[in-house]
Amino acid sequence: MGAQTSHRYFVTGGAGYIGSHTVLALLRDGHDVTIFDNFSNASRDVIDRLGALAGKAPVLIEGDIRDEAALTSALTAQKYRAVLHFAGLKSVAESVEKPQLYHEVNVGGTEILLRAMEKGGCKAIVFSSSATVYGTHGVSPIDESCSLDPINPYGQSKADCEVLLENNCQNDAEFSAAILRYFNPVGADKSAKIGEMPKGTPANLMPLILEAATGEREKLAIFGNDYDTPDGTGVRDYIHVSDLAAGHTAALPYIEAHPGAHKINLGTGRGYSVIEMIQTFQAVNDVPIPYSIEARRPGDLGEVVANPNYARELLDWQANLGLEDMCRDAWAWKKSIVKSSS
Ligand code: NAD
Ligand code: UD1
């Protein structure tokens, strides 16, 4: 169903995993979208695929968010209703090795983006934050009032960006920011034409399950089965990336009408263990996932689940797709990329 009014949105990192699904949702709602991406973690053919899927192509500006002249030129050449800011680096392990780089890209890039938005007169932003900002409180389900306690440079960079956005809102009564704290995005658009394409060795559970399913990886290592959870393995709030994308399209009209900084969890409120993930994946896709039980991963918590009530109240949004959809759609996407690369 098309939106009643069509707007023009500027999407940094729009060729990436979550960005591309959100761009697809915006295009399908009839909006115009400009993607600003340096393709450091995305493939160029995503742009054509989005155009084919939506029947309407996004505009592409290839550039780096650290390039102030490029961002300023883009945001002053055209008036945008809002910016959706996905661009950034996201590997916890890499952030420990290169904390300066994470600060420069994630925090420095956001500062530059905010200055360019000011010059372009754009006063609304949707920002990709993460449940990782909550750190190790161990409270679950966790709501937005919980204090922040990031435990690695990646999490710190997200917390720093949240402060930048809050300051902007304090300094400009017309400015608005949706600070969306994602839980664990998985799955792919049901067309299997776009999805997650991790570069190098993945670190997150679903991409590793997919590698065990194809045989690229001999087996999945389960990091600990002695947590205080029903089967002892870690419990997380996995959310289908298409539901997550819909959370962004729900946030836009809200921030356009409500200035200020709005921190919002995007999760399902339902946790699944690693064992449940494996069992559901095997059952839905009829493919075995060999695994072994290994030591806990340092920094991991037993359970991290969102309290999703605020998003429901504020945005009238909630996740609709279940674990079976997540496993089915992730596998369809993985099979499509394995096939196209063979
Ligand atoms: P992704 O790597 O697939 O997408 C990021 C996109 O930004 C890529 O297209 C990449 O090419 C682009 N990019 C990176 N650095 C850039 C730069 N300097 N200039 C311009 N473009 C640049 O990641 P994703 O999973 O889609 O994540 C999107 C956002 O959501 C990130 O900010 C990430 O930190 C955040 N997030 C992701 C998760 C997750 O599990 N995927 C969870 C919580 C938060
Ligand atoms: C990780 C990051 C977090 C980031 C999030 C989403 C860490 C410590 N945390 O969180 O900052 O926001 O990804 O990108 O890296 N698991 C296994 N075997 C594996 C991989 C994972 O058993 O090979 C387990 C984990 O112990 C956990 C669950 O699977 O219980 C999910 O892991 P993962 O996908 O890495 O997400 P998070 O731990 O939530």
Q: How far is the CA of 88 from the centre of ligand 1 (A)?
A: 5
The residue assigned the tokens 């409120």 is 269
Structural contact between residues 148 and 159, judged by C-beta atoms closer than 8 angstroms: yes
DSSP-derived 3-state class of residue 162: helix
Peptide bond before residue 141 is cis, with ω within 30 degrees of 0: yes
The reply to whether 154 belongs to the active site is yes
Atom of ligand 2 nearest to the CA of 233: 30
In angstroms, the CA 281 to CA 120 distance is 46
Pick from 242, 252, 254, 250: which is nearest to 321 by CA?
Answer: 242
What pLDDT score was predicted for residue 2? 44
Q: Inform me whether the pLDDT recorded for 115 exceeds 90.
A: yes
Give the mean pLDDT of 319-332: 98
The CATH T-level fold of domain 8-186+238-267+307-319 is: Rossmann fold (3.40.50)
Residue 1 has pLDDT above 50, yes or no: no
232 C-alpha vs ligand 1 centroid, how far in Å? 31
Ligand nearest to the CA of 92: 2
- Determine the distance separating the centroid of ligand 2 and the alpha carbon of 204, expressed in angstroms: 5
Arithmetic mean of pLDDT over the chain: 96
Q: Which residues, 6 or more positions from 226, have their beta carbon under 8 angstroms from its beta carbon?
A: 232, 296
Instruction: Report, as an integer, the average pLDDT of 78-99.
Output: 96
Residues across the chain:
342
75 in Cβ contact with 120 (< 8 Å): yes
pLDDT tens track for 39-59: 999 999 999 999 999 999 999
Question: Which residue's CA lies nearest to atom 21 of ligand 1?
Answer: 37
The two beta strands, 291-294 and 59-62, are: unpaired
Domain ranges of the chain: 8-186+238-267+307-319
- In this prediction, residue 4 carries a pLDDT of 66
Contact 112, 65 (CB under 8 A): yes
In the chain, % of residues over pLDDT 90: 92
Atom of ligand 1 nearest to the CA of 20: 26
Q: What share of the chain has pLDDT > 70, as a percent?
A: 99
Candidate from 60, 90, 182 with most ligand 1 atoms within 8 A of CB, to mutate: 90
> pLDDT of 218-267, one tens digit each?
999 999 999 999 999 999 999 999 999 999 999 999 999 999 999 999 99
137 pLDDT band (50/70/90 cuts)? confident
CA of 289 to the centre of ligand 2 (A): 18
Do the Cβ atoms of 188 and 241 come closer than 8 Å? yes
